[in-house]
Amino acid sequence: MPSPGRLGGAPAFLKTRSQGLLGEDARGCRVAASSLSLTGVKGETVNIERIENGIREVLAGFGEDALNPEVLANTPRRVAQMYAEFFSQLRVDPAEALGVVYDESYDEMIVLKDIPFFSICEHHLLPFMGTADVVYIPQGRRIVGASKLARVVDIAAARPQLQERLTSQIADALVERLDPLGVLVRLEATHLCMTLRGVKKAGSSMVTSALRGSFHKNPASRQEALSLIM
């Protein structure tokens, strides 16, 4: 591992969470500890220092002679902080986002559609982005606020992901927390790993769905849900 000094001085602010303090970045700006090692609700963090060291190695692989010195000095830290932000919910259970459940006698379909989301594909660490539709049929007077449904999508997306798994995790969070009669989740997303590299199919999108309960068992109720979101 190259010594940080080689790159014009290690950013003094890069302290581990156990050191836990305010520090200074290369321009002397004060940076709050919370932005250095973003903390999930269970107190776990990503290791910013290790990510930074890894990115420094990636740049070395590109060839340090071909890169601007500013890039060598500051990009590893910027990228590490970016990943810390992207993956800030890495250890948060999406079901926790549903929080308070309202006691309300409503037993028809509830639909929240066109929820924008972005995530990072775990195969290439490139973004994929699109919209999510969430449909459920409550039972036992358990419903949640619409913003909580969007929050489940955000939390499940804030980690290295596969679109298929993301779709299932959103559906399973609702099942776990609300025990509804049925859940349907549909995601449509564009993957940069497919449009920028490999087969380079710009404009293509991938659709995934997860069906639980009555939407799984009953084609008529599934059709009704799909007609509401399509």
Chain positions contacting Zn ion, by CB under 5 A: 121, 123-124, 193
Active site residue 29: no
Active site residue 123: yes
Active site residue 216: no
Instruction: Identify whether the C-beta of residue 23 lies closer than 8 Å to the C-beta of residue 72.
Output: no
Active site residue 89: no
Shortest distance (Å) from residue 189 CB to Zn ion: 11
Q: Which residue is nearest to Zn ion (CB)?
A: 193
Shortest distance (Å) from residue 149 CB to Zn ion: 26
HEC assignment per residue over 9-77:
CCCCCCCCCCCCCCEECCCCCEECHHHCCCECCCCCECCHHHHHHHHHHHHHHHCHHHCCHHHHHHHHH
Shortest distance (Å) from residue 86 CB to Zn ion: 14
Which residue of the set 123, 164, 176, 223 is catalytic? 123
Active site residue 191: yes
Which residue of the set 64, 124, 188, 216 is catalytic? 124
Shortest distance (Å) from residue 168 CB to Zn ion: 18
33/193 with CB nearer Zn ion: 193
Instruction: Identify whether the C-beta of residue 174 lies closer than 8 Å to the C-beta of residue 137.
Output: no
Which residue of the set 24, 44, 70, 122 is catalytic? 122
Residues acting as catalytic residues: 121-124, 163, 191, 193
